[in-house]
Amino acid sequence: MDTATMWLLLFGAVAVALLIAALTRTKFTVQRISLVGVMAALSFVAYEFFRIPFAGGSSFHLGNTFTALTAMLLDGVSGGLAGAIGLALADVIAGDPGYAFTTFILKFIIGIVCGLIAHRLLHLRSHRQDGKGRYLARVTLSAFSGLLVNVFTDPLVGYFRDRYIFGQPVEVATVFIKITGGVTLVNSLLSTVCAVVLYLALEPALRRAHLLPKE
C-alpha cells in the first residue's frame, strides 16, 4: 500500500474519532483540552524516550499508562484521544504512517473501554468513600479493562496492518502476531500498575483544583 493511502487511512481514523466525540457529546473545555494535551505529551515521551524495542516492530513501553489514566480522570473519548494523539504522533515522527493509523485506532479503543468501565459500569467517582480495598479494586479494574482488551486487539490489528498495509507474507505476519501478544500483555500489566498509582495520587489534587468533571 502506498504512503498516500496510509495517510488517508490515518486522517480517516482521526475523523471517526472526532465523530464519536460529537455523538457522545463530549464537551471540550479549555481545562479538558489542556489536560488531554498534557497526557498526550506524556504518552509520547514515555514511548519515544523510554521504550525497549523488540522483534516484529513491537516494544516494551509505558505509553498506554496515560491513555487509561486520562480515561479514568475524565472520560473514555478524552482518554482515547490522549493516547491516540501522543502515540500516533510518535509513529508519524518516525515516518511510519501505516503504524500511526493502527496505533491511533488501538489507543482510542483503550480509552473508550477504560472510560466505559470506570464511569458507566463501576461509577468510579461515586465510590471514592468506599473502603480502601474496594476502591482500589475499582480503580484497578477500570485501568486494566481497556489494557486487557488491547492484549487481543493489538495483535489482530497488527496482523491486518502487516498483511494488507505492509504486504508481509502470512508466515511472517503470523509469527509477529504471537510476539506482539506477549509483549502487549507485559505492557498492559505494567501500565495498569502505573495508571493505578498515578490515579490515586493525582485524582484528589485535580478534584480539589476543580479540574475534573463533576459527578
CATH at residue 77: 1.10.1760.20
Instruction: With H, G, I as helix, E, B as strand and everything else as coil, classify residue 201.
Output: helix
Evaluate whether residue 199 is within a structural domain.
yes
Task: Please tell me the predicted confidence (pLDDT) of residue 196.
Answer: 98
Average pLDDT per block of 10 residues along the chain, 215 residues long? 86 94 92 96 95 82 97 97 96 89 96 97 88 93 97 93 88 88 95 98 93 81
Task: Please tell me the predicted confidence (pLDDT) of residue 215.
Answer: 64
Task: Please tell me the predicted confidence (pLDDT) of residue 35.
Answer: 96
Q: How far apart are CA 64 and CA 83, in angstroms?
A: 7
Task: Please tell me the predicted confidence (pLDDT) of residue 53.
Answer: 87
Instruction: With H, G, I as helix, E, B as strand and everything else as coil, classify residue 130.
Output: coil
Q: Taking the complete model, does pTM exceed 0.85, yes or no?
A: yes
Please give the angle made by the CA atoms of 84, 156 and 17, to the nearest 5 degrees.
30
Evaluate whether residue 204 is within a structural domain.
yes
H helix runs in the chain, sequence order: 3-23, 30-50, 65-73, 76-93, 97-115, 132-160, 170-208
Range of the domain at 9: 3-208
Task: Please tell me the predicted confidence (pLDDT) of residue 116.
Answer: 97
Evaluate whether residue 215 is within a structural domain.
no
Domain tally, the chain:
1
